[in-house]
Every structure is written in C-alpha cells, then in structure tokens.
Structure 1
C-alpha cells in the first residue's frame, strides 16, 4: 500500500515538474537540444516507473525491510553527491564514481563496477560532447585540455 501511495505521489510530482520544465527557455542557444529536453526525458522515465509501480501485479506481497530502506537512502545520497560534485570534479569523474557506487549498492562486484564506472563516464562524455555538442564540465581534467 505504501509503495502505491509513493508511486502515485511521485507521478504527480513528475507531472508538476514537467509543467515547469516545459517552460524552460534559454536566452541563447548553448546546445542544439535545448534546455528542456533532458529534464523532460528524465521525468518521462520516472513517470513510466511510477506507473509501473501503480499497476504491477503482486506488489502487495512486497515488504520494505530495513536493508532495502538503507539501500534506498544510500542510493539517494549517492545521487545527491553526484549532483553536488558534478561541476567541481567534472562529468567524467563524477559519473564514474556515481556509477561505481550505485553498482556496489546493487550488489555488483568491485572490479566490474569500477570498469563500468570508468567506461560510463568516458563513453557518455564522448556521446554528449562530441556527437550531441552538449558541453559538459571537465572539472579536474580541465588542466589537461588546451583551450
């Protein structure tokens, strides 16, 4: 019951944020995608997940134990740390660390989580910066890049 209540609340939250994100306007075109595409994509994915939680059969049998609650709190703290360190560490390092930490939270092994974290940071940076022309912060790597 609490999961469905959370899912319904989160769905309403996503709808409200989508209304706000729809009005995002950039005073200048800093990237070809525009400022509203990324938040709307994330909100669509979160809303789809909320809908799945609302209609998923067998949801009533699931219980929230202390281990799952702790893992959820650690996941939120990891995402908060990712957002706070994004500009200072840069996209590549913060994404690698965030992916590594989330992989370990979901019972991944140490070496595969480290490898996938580094690959995720480097490959996503290449995708966004070189293919989509979306500038991302380099953070600590800025000293190595010539302007």
Structure 2
C-alpha cells in the first residue's frame, strides 16, 4: 500500500481520537497533582490531531518508502521506549531515563561519552525539576534510599 500525506493524516486523526477517548477516562485514585493524569494524553492528542488535519488538508503528496536502515532504527527506537516503560517503576526515573536517553543519543549518532554524560545529566536534571521543584511524584526505584 502506497502511503501519502492524506492517508497518514487520517491515521493520525484516528490515533488522536483514540488517545482523547482513553485520556478522558483517566482518573487518579487521589489528587496528587493539580491537573491530574488526563492532561498529558489530551494535550498530545490535540497536537497529533492538528498535525493530522494539516496533512489531510494539505494534499496527497506521495511519500517515499523508508530504507531498511531507517526501518531498523524505527523498530529499535520502539524497543528502547518499550524497555523504558517496562523498567520505569523498577529502576526508577533517574536510571531508566538516563539509560533511555543514552541509547537514543547513540541511535542518532552521538558518541558514547557524550551520550552517557547527556543521559545521566538529563535523568538527574529532570528528576530534580519534576520531583523536587514541581512536586510531580516520580518513582525513585533502586535509588530510593538515596533520594
């Protein structure tokens, strides 16, 4: 099946509708954040819907198929993000985010040293910003005794 902008836009609109439906039904057992768990999926669905609508309206330009290498990187990115989601609670935000960020940086051509420094920095920095400054509860994981 050849893919063009309109078909991709229609798929994006369907994904946005699913995310909005799913996100609208999210409720926390107790209130720990001012905006609650609905905000993120609803915000993302609005952005995806807007982009999908632009693609549908803009036109039917043909899209060239990806190379095998690009498809391999896409599947590897999906695997990395799935592993991130699977290890998020167990390892905690800092370690899982540092690992994910390091692997993604390598996937996009970063050197090991830059990827490791960036990954560790982002894991720690975002934990401090969200958990300590913004009071968003994040899992501490194996570092729980030190945080």
- Are 2:92 and 1:90 equivalent residues in the alignment? yes
**Equivalent residue, structure 2, for 1:122:** 124
Task: State the shift of 1:71 in Å.
Answer: 0.3
- Total equivalences in the alignment: 145
TM-score, with structure 1 as normaliser: 0.83
Shift of the 104–55 alpha-carbon distance from structure 1 to 2, 3 Å rule, reads farther
Conserved in 2, the CA contact under 8 Å of 1:3 and 1:53?
A: no
**Equivalent residue, structure 1, for 2:44:** 42
> Which structure has greater helix proportion?
1
**Equivalent residue, structure 2, for 1:107:** 109
Q: Secondary structure at the match of 1:108?
A: coil
Distance 2:115 2:56 in 1: 31
Shift of the 32–61 alpha-carbon distance from structure 1 to 2, 3 Å rule, reads closer
- Superposition pairs for residues 1-147 of structure 1, below 5 Å? 1-2=2-3, 4=5, 5-48=7-50, 50=52, 60=62, 62-145=64-147
Q: Secondary structure at the match of 2:145?
A: helix
Conserved in 1, the CA contact under 8 Å of 2:127 and 2:138?
A: yes
Distance 1:59 1:109 in 2: 36
Shift of the 10–106 alpha-carbon distance from structure 1 to 2, 3 Å rule, reads same
Q: Please, what is the CA RMSD of the aligned residues?
A: 2.5
Q: Secondary structure at the match of 1:2?
A: coil
Task: State the shift of 1:30 in Å.
Answer: 1.8
Distance 2:108 2:124 in 1: 22
Conserved in 2, the CA contact under 8 Å of 1:7 and 1:50?
A: yes
Distance 2:120 2:50 in 1: 28
* Structure 2: gaps (5+ residues): none
